[in-house]
Amino acid sequence: MHWQYKNMARTLRVEGFESLVRDVNTKAIINTNRSEYNNYMKRVKARENNTDTIRALCKEINTLKKELFEIKKHMKKD
């Protein structure tokens, strides 16, 4: 996904911040610094990857716990 803000004529500079503008229609503050945006998106992707890793590890732990329970159950029968 590629971000590009168009219609810059409908924005006002935020005082004291070179890369921030306010959209006059929505009143939203918009960061126009592309490298900051790209860094932000990298952090979001890294967070998603970490969440996926944690989820996979939890699933593996739960599988191991079930297998251990089954082993213990079979040992008690004997």
* pLDDT score of 48: 97
Structure tokens, 23: 């959209």
Q: Name beta bridge partners: 3.
A: none
- Give yes or no for a contact between 30 and 5, defined as CB atoms under 8 angstroms apart: yes
Query: 64 is written with which tokens?
Result: 């191991």
pTM of the model: 0.57
| Cα dist from 63 to 69, 74, 77, whole Å | 10, 17, 22
Q: pLDDT tens track of the chain, all 78 residues?
A: 445 555 556 889 999 999 999 999 999 999 999 999 999 999 999 999 999 999 999 999 999 999 999 999 999 886
